[in-house]
């Protein structure tokens, strides 16, 4: 029987986590979920952890090939009250610090920590940015900056750290596309605002594939943009989705309505945007399965 390599995965039940678990398992890895519910912590298949305390039994992570850290408060649900913003920050920054403290104390440390981040780290803008670009200064950018900085203890312990700056994940199982499908299928979809804001998207399969490549290729260190090579504007995304669905896209959502409905969250996520280029993935020869948006959407057979 093949002795499969072990990878610990937080956020394993989320949209990206499920895809990553499936991809790694198919590539002969044994995935061990990091869970926060003690009722789900079973010997061998999962390990209990919390954003406050880190891993409860760190010894169970000894000798892991890698740790993939995806857990964090959902930023796209509910208005950003001060309490919500505190939860977003705490779940990412404090949770990552606690996890890295656990990893740093291991005798046989993982070779690599792939920690999720987001393209929001760049702030808003219309110019192309890659991993060398300066960081933004709005709420999401500062959370992402500190989120990545929270990996410092793992880095100091000699663990290779990859900060995966993930774009808008395209999947029919959830995320942005999952929420847009119903209104677009009924012909009541349209651009948001003037539609000129950039959407740095990535197919769910390429997120999982990029994470596996970051585990296996030691060339990946520090920030890595997980976005498709061909970002689009919101207007282009809207037109392409309408084309694939064969539905009209003539009902725009004005900016003032976005702000009225969603407040700061809508302003940051729906109206703002970034034109992010995956320079590191391209340089290392990552074989994107879905480089253009129309092909990516058609892969779901909508």
In a domain, 118, yes or no: yes
Looking at every residue in the chain, the average pLDDT score rounds to: 93
Length of the chain measured in residues: 302
Domain span at 142: 5-169+203-227
What's the pLDDT at 274?
Answer: 95
Find residue 198's DSSP bridge partners. 233
Q: Please give the structure tokens belonging to residue 222.
A: 């520090």
Is the model's pLDDT at 2 over the cut of 60? no
What CATH number corresponds to the domain at position 16? 3.40.50.720
Is the model's pLDDT at 18 over the cut of 70? yes
Alpha carbon distance 302, 296 (integer Å): 11
In a domain, 142, yes or no: yes
Q: DSSP H helical segments within the chain, as ranges?
A: 15-26, 82-89, 95-104, 139-149, 152-156, 175-185, 204-216, 234-245, 255-262, 264-266, 279-283, 293-298
pLDDT for 170-180, tens place per residue?
Answer: 999 999 899 89
pLDDT for 82-140, tens place per residue?
Answer: 999 999 999 999 999 999 999 999 999 999 999 999 999 999 999 999 999 999 999 99
Nearest Cα to 223, choosing from 302, 98, 134, 286?
134
In a domain, 89, yes or no: yes
Q: Which of 58-62, 107-111, 218-222, 257-261 has the lowest mean pLDDT?
A: 257-261
Is the model's pLDDT at 164 over the cut of 80? yes
| pLDDT (mean) for 272-291 | 97
What's the pLDDT at 223?
Answer: 98
- Which residues have C-beta within 8 Å of that of residue 246, sequence separation ≥ 6? none
In a domain, 275, yes or no: no
Tell me the pLDDT band of 4, cut-offs 50, 70 and 90: low
In a domain, 233, yes or no: no
What's the pLDDT at 266?
Answer: 80
In a domain, 266, yes or no: no
What's the pLDDT at 44?
Answer: 63
In a domain, 273, yes or no: no
Number of domains in the chain: 1
In a domain, 257, yes or no: no
């Amino acid at each position: 029987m093949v002795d499969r390599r072990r990878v610990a995965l937080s956020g394993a039940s989320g949209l990206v986590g499920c895809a990553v678990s499936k991809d790694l398992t198919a590539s002969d890895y044994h995935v061990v979920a990091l869970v926060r519910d003690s009722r789900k912590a079973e010997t061998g298949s999962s390990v209990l952890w919390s954003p406050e305390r880190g891993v409860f039994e760190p010894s169970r992570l000894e000798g892991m090939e890698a740790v993939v850290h995806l857990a964090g408060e959902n930023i796209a649900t509910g208005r950003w009250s001060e309490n919500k913003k505190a939860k977003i920050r705490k779940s990412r920054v404090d949770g990552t610090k606690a996890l890295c403290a656990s990893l740093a104390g291991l005798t046989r440390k993982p070779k690599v920590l792939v920690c999720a981040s987001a393209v929001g780290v760049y702030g808003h803008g219309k110019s192309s940015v890659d991993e060398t670009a300066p960081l933004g200064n709005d709420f999401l950018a500062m959370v992402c900056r500190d989120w990545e900085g929270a990996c410092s203890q793992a880095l100091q312990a000699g663990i290779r750290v990859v900060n995966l700056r993930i774009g808008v994940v395209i999947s029919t199982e959830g995320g942005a596309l999952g929420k847009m499908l119903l209104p677009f299928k009924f012909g009541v979809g349209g651009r948001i605002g003037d539609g000129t804001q950039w959407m740095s998207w990535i197919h769910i399969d390429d997120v999982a594939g990029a994470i596996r490549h970051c585990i296996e290729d030691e060339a990946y260190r520090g920030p890595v943009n997980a976005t498709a090579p061909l970002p689009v504007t919101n207007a282009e995304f809207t037109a392409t989705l309408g084309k694939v669905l064969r539905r009209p896209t003539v009902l725009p959502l004005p900016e003032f309505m976005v702000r009225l409905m969603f407040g700061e969250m809508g302003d940051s996520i729906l109206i703002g945007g970034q034109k992010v280029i995956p320079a590191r993935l391209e340089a290392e020869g990552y074989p994107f399965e879905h480089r253009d948006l129309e092909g990516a959407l058609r892969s779901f057979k909508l």
